Amino acid sequence: MPPVVLGGHASPKMDLDLHYMPALRNYGEGEAGSKSEWRRVGRPGWTCQRDATAILGCPAALPYTEVIERILSLLSQDRCPPPVDRPDSENPRIAQIGDHQVIDSPQGTSAERGPAAATAIASDPPRPPIRLGIIGTGLAAQKLHWPALALMPQRFQIVAFANRTRSTAEEFATIAGLSMDGYTPDYGDLLARDDVEAVLVGVPIERIFPIARDCIEAGKHVISEKPPGASEAEALEYVELTARHPSQVVLMGEQVFYGDSRRLARSLIDAGAIGQPRFFVHRVVKHEVPVPGRFSSTPWRHKPAYPGGSIVDGGVHDLAGMRLLGGDIASLSARTEWLNKAIEAPSVLAMDFGFARNGSGSLFYGSFSTPVLDEDGSTRVYGTDGNLIINRGSVRLVRADGSVEEHVLQGSSAFYNEFLNFYEAVAYGEPVVGTVAQSARNMLILLRALRAAEEERTIDVRAEPWNAPAEGVPLWRPRGAVGLFDGLPVRHSIKAQ
Amino acid sequence: MPPVVLGGHASPKMDLDLHYMPALRNYGEGEAGSKSEWRRVGRPGWTCQRDATAILGCPAALPYTEVIERILSLLSQDRCPPPVDRPDSENPRIAQIGDHQVIDSPQGTSAERGPAAATAIASDPPRPPIRLGIIGTGLAAQKLHWPALALMPQRFQIVAFANRTRSTAEEFATIAGLSMDGYTPDYGDLLARDDVEAVLVGVPIERIFPIARDCIEAGKHVISEKPPGASEAEALEYVELTARHPSQVVLMGEQVFYGDSRRLARSLIDAGAIGQPRFFVHRVVKHEVPVPGRFSSTPWRHKPAYPGGSIVDGGVHDLAGMRLLGGDIASLSARTEWLNKAIEAPSVLAMDFGFARNGSGSLFYGSFSTPVLDEDGSTRVYGTDGNLIINRGSVRLVRADGSVEEHVLQGSSAFYNEFLNFYEAVAYGEPVVGTVAQSARNMLILLRALRAAEEERTIDVRAEPWNAPAEGVPLWRPRGAVGLFDGLPVRHSIKAQ
């Protein structure tokens, strides 16, 4: 039986990839997917992916066996999945978002028509793609970064990649369609190359800072995975290092700052759609057991070499979302429990906090080794004149009069947005939203929450060294964009109820 | 158009009564329902109620207009709703609950066959019903207490009732089928009667303690509404007063201690069904605006004369549930916000806490004047080997192997159980579960949570004057019962998934 890959790696639909890839790989007896293989399923690239997703129904609810059955059925018919009907395709919808209008036309957004030119301003001088080196070609590069980079060939060109284990680099090269000529086992070789302008660092937590430091000291622009270090001391060093190199762009991956649904929610809050926002509630509950080939199986996630383990590694994203929506955090208290037998650390955190401006928050982060059922994973913001319900791909605005406005976001890719911010910072000097200092602040607050839980006390985090402005995190928009989504892969539509 | 009452007051289905009564009354132009009126809809008593509920579908989801339409349609056909098919009625289900078996037979529980004899032990001497006086015949007496008392004519006989406003007493007399001979505007007259053995006190918060004190000092057994007072000082006095009268039974209404789904969950936890319970999460989010004729319209709920307002008045029940499940609370922190324009006090509370034995908790209580949508109102307990999801009328056990056991509880009445505990305490000296000290503890913890929020600090509540044993609240069972539900109106069945 040939290995089967669903829809192609060059897809912003990470949900599906992350969810089904392990099963599909097992089915293919351990062989990784490749460009030539996904072409068998349908049209190349993410258009096919989107169709396949629609045909397969709700991905999270389908058992693996059924997914495989459906794919085999498609293969046996030797046909490409038909295009999906787009509802309301005749009538472009115009939405008032914050202080501007977003127009979702039948032609899609400009990103679909030609990514490279999507957000460049007319007067920008043309420039060649950024020549990118990649250090670390493991899961993050393969499953998170490459699908976004694949959409941006006119912005990024991968010229070199380094990984200690050659076989992992070969996997990546196959996925990304690269020859092994650009490979080196020693990242020092990569940094020594003058033609490498910028470096993507995607390595385990304890190696992030030492490698990023080498990159910065070699004069490269850097986009690196979070967190900023394996300890507070390291993170502080990282923040200071970036301050000493103001002419280099350093972006720390925090995809939540760039996620379209949270950006939209922030924009609605800023526009006063729910009056004064007062209570921010976020809840994430996961059943996490190690699965071969997935993030959950990485050894350092079980025996954390840095304080906090799963709660800090996973929780920083949830905290990033709270800070994007409500601003910076002033003081907090928390409780933790050990409830994941595969993780030798606390895995559940309940945290109450106050924001620096106004309003309160409640965050529940749970990683469980036992199954969980019917959990509400939404973020909710309650205001004086309504509330927001934020889920992946949707934002619902519940107004004081009981009417509901549902915003649907399809084809969204936070990683695409993140790489675009990096590109525009390097190419045009745009400000970086996901700074190392912002990620350090997220990490610090979670470390203080762990301390608050351990010492059973309320901790004021205003006086900490990485204090952030009360407004927290700037709202990212593409360069020159009028709307939130101009030129991005996402399609935005609104249903009134 | 005649006034229409759905199914009868003598019903343990409080959901429906509370939800639809105001609309139905409005429809009947302000006239209260009466015994003779409900007979028009179908068979007397709660059997009819249950059928009507099933016919009308999910009560909470139906708009009032549609309910009225359906009832009118039934009336116009001049027929009693047909009995509802009982699934699996041929096969009694046997469930292992904690350390005992519960058998749900096609004949129902013994309460349906004859409530008076349901839980008496064979050797108990026969005794006449408790001669009950009622002080305060307003909403609580009419909507909460009477529906339960109506099921227990062999245990309670209402011989006197007092209320300052005569018209409210007349309303109650009509509902309960009493003559006005037993009425007095002055509760002192009621207390002076030797034939009144016990008194039910259902008055606004600020009058509860002074009246209950008069009752106790007059030598009566007392069952009173919560909270134990309008202030900490009053509550402390109330606790001390009961200690000085050990031969009198004093039960403070806290229906959550008696609710069947939480009792079942507690029993499952005690039996080790989820291993070590570690995290207790409770969330209740309500859209509360004043509606004429409902609890929400009572003036003292808007301008609270006692500290805490809505959060203490409503939140004590949620806290009672946490303490029944997890034991007593050791320390806490909290945040509050003002988000109900009809309430001049904070209306939203997020509280994190640690239990005295082990485990942590997170409570979110929200009363909002703006509408809310798709809120998960379940209580969840996460253990080392599984978790419980507790809703009104159902408890789901999610085991470590992913299997789910769903317990369904139909016809449950926490008020029935509460009155039964009171009866058995007076008649047979059974211990009271809902003591004044337990309610004082619930109230105190919420008052400390409000202080924790105001002062932004973590508060240790172990050293407080009303400290409770670490195990918190005893699990109530009917006298002589082997199972949790022996002789009660509730029907318990189990679905394995």
pLDDT tens column, B78-94: 433 333 333 333 333 33
SS3 B368: strand
Question: B207 exposed, middle or buried (CB, 10 Å; 0-12, 13-18, 19+)?
Answer: middle
* Mean pLDDT, residues A392-414: 96
Of A337, A371, A402, nearest to B371 by CB-CB distance is: A402
Share of chain A above pLDDT 90, in %: 63
When pLDDT is cut at 50, 70 and 90, the band that residue B64 belongs to is: very low
What percent of chain B has pLDDT above 70? 71
Residue B107 — very low, low, confident or very high, per pLDDT cuts 50/70/90? very low
**Model confidence band, residue B293 (pLDDT cutoffs 50, 70, 90):** low
pLDDT digits (tens, 9 = 90+) for B295-350: 555 554 555 555 667 898 899 999 999 999 999 999 999 999 999 998 888 999 99
b or e along A462-497 (b: 16 or more beta carbons within 10 Å of the residue's beta carbon)? eebebebeeebbbbbbbbbbebbbbbbbbbbbbeee
CA angle A235, A236, A242 (to 5 degrees): 90
Which chain A positions have a beta carbon within 8 Å of B456's beta carbon? 331, 354, 458, 460
The residue ranking higher by pLDDT, B306 or A195, is: A195
Which residues of chain A does B368 touch, with a Cβ-Cβ cutoff of 8 Å? Answer: 382, 387
Sign, CA dihedral B137-B140-B144-B145, equals: negative
What pLDDT band is residue A227 in, cutting at 50, 70 and 90? confident
Q: Confidence class of residue A122 from pLDDT cuts 50, 70 and 90?
A: low
Residue B25 pLDDT grade (very low, low, confident, very high; cuts 50, 70, 90):
very low
Flag if B396 and A373 touch (Cβ within 8 Å): yes
Residues B413-424 have a mean pLDDT of 97
Structure tokens at A119: 């957000």
pLDDT at res. B470: 80
**What confidence score (pLDDT) does residue B208 get?**
94
How far is Cα B97 from Cα B113, in angstroms, rounded to an integer? 23
pLDDT digits over A126-138, tens only?
Answer: 789 999 999 999 9
Residue B290, pLDDT score = 75
- Tens of pLDDT, residue by residue over B68-81, are 445 444 444 443 33
Q: Do A400 and B351 touch (CB under 8 A)?
A: no
| Contact state of A335 with B352 under an 8 Å Cβ cutoff | yes
pLDDT > 90? residue A468: no
C-alpha Rg value of chain B to the nearest Å = 22
Cis preceding linkage at A227, omega within 30: yes
For all residues of chain A together, what is the average pLDDT? Answer: 78
Residue B7 has pLDDT above 70, yes or no: no
Q: What share of chain B is helix, strand, coil (3-state, %, to 5)?
A: 35, 20, 40
pLDDT for A202 beyond 70: yes
The distance of Cα B252 from the centroid of its chain, to the nearest Å, equals 11
Minimum Cα–Cα distance from A289: chain B residue: B400
Phi, psi of B221 (to 5 degrees): -70, 150
pLDDT over 60 at A343, yes or no:
yes
Contact present, A348 and B279 (Cβ < 8 Å): yes
Least confident window among A88-97, A246-255, B111-120, B187-196: A88-97
Give just the sign of the alpha carbon dihedral A78, A83, A85, A90: negative
Between B66 and B172, the higher pLDDT residue: B172
User: Closest approach of chain B CAs to the CA of A340, in angstroms?
Assistant: 8
Closest to A250 (Cα-Cα) out of A425, A443, A132, A467: A425
More confident residue, A216 or A84: A216
As a residue count, chain A comes to: 497
Q: Over pLDDT 70: what percentage of chain A?
A: 71
Exposure letters B405-433 (e unless 16+ CB within 10 A, then b): bebbbbbbbbbbbbbbbbbbbbbeebebb
Chain B CA closest to residue A276: B339
Chains A, B: CB pairs < 8 Å: 142
Q: Find the CB nearest A370 among B371, B387, B452.
A: B387
Q: How far is A388 from chain B (nearest CA, A)?
A: 9
Q: Which ranges in A42-164 belong to alpha helices (H)?
A: 46-56, 64-76, 110-113, 139, 146-149
Structure tokens at A451: 């301390």
What's the pLDDT score for residue B299?
A: 56
**Average of per-residue pLDDT values in chain B:** 78
- Asked if A371's CB is within 8 angstroms of B402's CB, the reply is yes
pLDDT the model gives residue A84:
33
Tokens of A129: 């793609």
Q: What pLDDT was estimated at residue B95?
A: 33
Contact B386 A370 (CB under 8 A): yes
Contacts of B78 (CB under 8 A, 6+ apart): none
Beta-carbon separation of A398 and B348 below 8 A: no
On the question of pLDDT at A114 being above 80, the answer is: no
> Chain A: residue nearest B331 by CA?
A456
Weakest-pLDDT range from A10-24, A339-353, B389-403? A10-24
Positions of E strands within A107-154: 130-135
Instruction: Give chain B positions within 8 Å (CB) of A335.
Output: 352-354, 360-362
* Complete domains list, chain A, with CATH: 14-76 (no CATH), 256-411+438-452+483-496 (3.30.360.10)
* High-pLDDT (> 90) share of chain B, %: 63
pLDDT at A492 > cutoff 70: yes
Mean pLDDT along residues A344-358: 95
Which is nearest to A12 in space by CA: A441, A393, A460, A300? A393
pLDDT for the residue numbered B294? 57
> If pLDDT is split at 50, 70 and 90, which confidence band does A276 have?
very high
Residue showing tokens 């990096």: A422
How far is the alpha carbon of B466 from chain A, nearest alpha carbon, in Å?
A: 21
Give the pLDDT mean for B255-276: 97
